[in-house]
Amino acid sequence: MKLGLAEKQQPRPPLILLLGEGALASQIQDDLDYLGLNSIVIDDLPLSSEERVLPKLTDPDANLRFHTIFNAFRSMDKGSPFEHCWVHPGVTVWGERSEFESWARQSGLSSISSPGRALNLFWNTHQLLRTAQKIGVPTLVIDDEPVTSIREIEVSIKRLFQTNQATLPFILKSAYRVRGGYAHRVIRSLDEITEWVPIWMDHIRESSGASLLFIERYLESARCYVQPFARMKSGQIEYFPVIDATLMFEGRNWVEVCPAQSIDEFIQGKIENYTQKILEESDFVGVGNLIFLSNGTEVYLTEALGRPNFAYRLWENVGRTKALQWQLQALAPGLLAKPPESRAKLPKGTEICGLNLKFYAEDTALKIPNPGLIHEVSQIKEWNEGSYDGHLTWDVVSGQDLNWKSNGSLGVLTVFAPSWKEVLTGAQEVLKEVWIAGGVQTNERFLGELLAHPWVEESMFYTGFVDEEFIPKQLPETSWFQVMSNALMEVTDPLNEKESWLWMNHRFPVAAGEITWIEREDFVENGLVGVKGWFRSSDGSDERVCVFPINRTRYMVRIRNWFFSVRRSEKGRPLQLMALTSGRVHSIFFKDGSLIEPRQCVLIIESQQALVSHRLPIAVKMTNLKVRAEDEVVVGQELAELERWSNTQN
């Protein structure tokens, strides 16, 4: 009997299209290579630069744009030794969307995605929590009825306050997942509902396509725990080390610890019990995460994520396993040569502690995003000193323009050590060597001071600790002001008698003398001269500095881990409102001729998924508004001319 042609030919190995970009996409591609699988990223496709950009959730043509990407992937099949049949959404938002799998199937691809029903439930946080309540999993939801307008919020709050079901503070939360930590807002004053919530709702609508909200109880002194897991089609569940995500700021997880230092067997047991109930009810298959808040006696479900989280490197290293291997075993076992081994308890003496630190471009003290040009970043990315190991993954490169449309992420530092104390020490040592300079500011000094706080060292923190208790250092060494004044004199036009350099409310002294340079390099950016290098400070220490020109009147200076957004100021100049950050004018509340009370919001600029209000401490009259809604502006740009007025006048 003759064999048919199909029986004679060996099946071609699969090739996986991996979505996403940056460090995380590179890490997943390395993992695929480690598992013996071939993959390409979207930049390898025969597409234009515009076609390679993944669509947003709110894009009406998202389906068509994905078909263009998938068809380009399929077109590479001709003459290839691979079978182009798989697509992996990476850690992009599309890994959480049920429609992604059907779009891939329409193009003849198989998607490594979890079942649509479970993804829909995890995406709809409000429905997820209602489901949790029905099966006996505690939540913090106060009112089952979602609200869609300020009027409905005010009516609901009035009713809940009258029946003592709600008190201040409470939480307003988006019914749908919103990336970036902006899915909820703590309401500490009822005035915030009319002042801030309408703008916040617009922001949520632009991010997720809907602004449905619900109300949660604010849990005092809570810890936030993230339970990573893998669930097979058979129903088998693998629990991975719990992440402590309590050290958050403005709703974002800056610091993640694994394993959670404060968790005990009682709380751990409740988390695993509730996780099992949710996964069985939703019939979720794949790798995901459930997020809980705990007051020490009870555990409350707050959110779910239907894909590996951004910190998966942290828990997989602590758990001595591979997240991607478990994901493929659950969703595409035929791609694996062998299944992963179930994670057993580690032998004594082999346990490690891990710490993730996330770098963002922002002025942390003022809570203002700070996009800009990246002039240079650290080249050292690996540390192996004594008892700790550190790995720095940059999301940016030297010369990159980090614009206001990004999420502001600069990179992640992961440190491992045998104990909590050692990992804290190692992270603080590595932070001293991290360097990023240019037109941006970063939160690394803030992180370093946070890790050195006695409460953090003793693991005595809670979800509101950073917002409510932690106070970072406000001023640098006073001698640095003279150094900056001298350095600016070397690269800028001389000041006239009415001018001076200002940082916040601090006026620099007049330039005097020269800097003791150890190494010096001049450079040109935007037609202006900057300088960087090392100088010897007055106490004899060697310090690194970069004076970066943003425009003729504004410079960004970095010394050690301090950033100074310095501006040229002139006495007697008419009063102006200037942009605190680069971005898009989201809302304007006054027109020419308007009288504006102190602390009233004049306008709002959207930048890096945040809304930045612009206010003045004095009463003013707007004489010349120079921007309109939707205009793009840059930091330091003049937005309006103003003049003082007394609000005591008739």
Domain boundary among 570, 598, 615: 570
Q: How many CB atoms lie within 10 A of CB 221?
A: 11
Calculate what percentage of the chain has a pLDDT beyond 90: 67
One domain for residues 584 and 636: yes
> Which domain CATH number covers 586?
2.40.50.100
Q: Is residue 309 part of a domain?
A: no
φ, ψ of residue 534 to 5 degrees: the values are -125, 140
**pLDDT (0 to 100) of residue 523:** 96
Q: Is residue 226 part of a domain?
A: no
Q: Is residue 437 part of a domain?
A: yes
One domain for residues 437 and 327: yes
**pLDDT (0 to 100) of residue 264:** 93
One domain for residues 263 and 345: yes
One domain for residues 462 and 374: yes
**CA-CA distance, 330 to 325, in Å (whole number)?**
9
Q: Is residue 187 part of a domain?
A: yes
Nearest CA-CA partner of 431 in 406, 450, 458 = 450
**pLDDT (0 to 100) of residue 648:** 58
One domain for residues 502 and 615: no
With cut-offs at 50, 70 and 90, classify the pLDDT of residue 180. low
One domain for residues 164 and 90: no
The residue written with tokens 């399929």 in the block is 74
Task: Characterize the bridge pairing of strands 286-294 and 223-231.
Answer: antiparallel
Looking at the structure of the chain, the number of domains it has is: 5
- For the stretch 191-194, contacts whose Cβ atoms lie closer than 8 Å and that sit 24 or more positions apart, written own/partner, are 193/150, 193/153, 193/154, 193/157, 194/150
Domain boundary among 527, 551, 570: 570
Q: Are 436 and 376 in contact (CB under 8 A)?
A: yes
Asked if pLDDT for residue 47 goes beyond 50, the answer is yes
Residue 161 corresponds to which amino acid? F
Q: Which residues face 502 on adjacent strands?
A: 507, 567
Q: Is residue 293 part of a domain?
A: no
Q: Are 150 and 158 in contact (CB under 8 A)?
A: no
Q: 193-203: per-residue pLDDT in tens?
A: 887 788 888 87
One domain for residues 99 and 164: no
Q: 537-546: per-residue pLDDT in tens?
A: 888 899 999 9
Q: Which residues face 57 on adjacent strands?
A: none
One domain for residues 94 and 27: yes
The residue written with tokens 């919020």 in the block is 153
Output the average pLDDT for the chain.
Answer: 90
> Which domain CATH number covers 147?
3.30.1490.20
One domain for residues 432 and 497: no
Per-residue HEC secondary structure of 120-162 comes to HHHHEHHHHHHHHHHCCCCECECCCCCECCHHHHHHHHHHHHH
**pLDDT (0 to 100) of residue 205:** 81
How large is the C-alpha radius of gyration of the chain? Answer: 27
Task: Characterize the bridge pairing of strands 601-607 and 554-559.
Answer: unpaired
Asked if pLDDT for residue 580 goes beyond 90, the answer is yes
Q: How many CB atoms lie within 10 A of CB 277?
A: 16
Query: Would residue 250 be called left, alpha or beta, if left means φ above 0 and alpha means ψ between -120 and 50 degrees?
Result: left
Q: 88-142: per-residue pLDDT in tens?
A: 999 999 999 999 999 999 999 999 999 999 999 999 999 999 999 999 999 999 9
Q: 629-650: per-residue pLDDT in tens?
A: 999 999 989 999 999 987 655 4
Chain Cα centroid distance, residue 312? 15
Nearest CA-CA partner of 398 in 379, 376, 381, 380 = 376
Q: Are 379 and 433 in contact (CB under 8 A)?
A: no
- For the stretch 34-39, contacts whose Cβ atoms lie closer than 8 Å and that sit 24 or more positions apart, written own/partner, are 34/322, 35/322, 35/324, 35/325, 35/328, 35/335, 35/336, 35/337, 36/337, 37/335, 38/13, 38/14, 38/82, 39/15, 39/88
In this predicted structure, which of 47-51, 405-409, 519-523 has the lowest mean pLDDT? 405-409
Calculate what percentage of the chain has a pLDDT beyond 70: 96
With cut-offs at 50, 70 and 90, classify the pLDDT of residue 1. very low
Q: How many CB atoms lie within 10 A of CB 456?
A: 21
CB-based burial, 582-600: b 16+ in 10 Å, e otherwise: bbebbbbebeeeeebeeeb
**CA-CA distance, 51 to 64, in Å (whole number)?**
11
**CA-CA distance, 245 to 226, in Å (whole number)?**
7
**CA-CA distance, 603 to 588, in Å (whole number)?**
4
Helix (H) or strand (E) holding 315: helix 312-318
- Rounded to the nearest 10 degrees, the angle between the axes of helix 22-34 and helix 323-331 is 70
One domain for residues 272 and 397: yes
Mean pLDDT of 320-339: 94
Domain boundary among 544, 570, 596: 570
One domain for residues 202 and 148: yes
φ, ψ of residue 2 to 5 degrees: the values are -80, 140
**pLDDT (0 to 100) of residue 5:** 41
What pTM did the predictor assign? 0.91
> Which domain CATH number covers 412?
3.30.470.20
> Tokens at residue 537, please?
């400070």
Nearest CA-CA partner of 217 in 264, 282, 171, 176 = 171
The residue written with tokens 């102006």 in the block is 576
Helix (H) or strand (E) holding 30: helix 22-34
**pLDDT (0 to 100) of residue 3:** 42
Q: Is residue 439 part of a domain?
A: yes
One domain for residues 451 and 491: no
Mean pLDDT of 226-244: 96
Q: What domain range is 208 assigned to?
A: 141-217
Q: 355-391: per-residue pLDDT in tens?
A: 999 999 998 888 899 999 999 999 888 999 888 999 9
With cut-offs at 50, 70 and 90, classify the pLDDT of residue 29. very high
**CA-CA distance, 207 to 591, in Å (whole number)?**
28
Q: Is residue 304 part of a domain?
A: no
Sign of CA dihedral 370, 374, 375, 381: positive
Q: Is residue 474 part of a domain?
A: no
**How many Cα atoms sit within 13 Å of 137 on the Cβ side?**
26
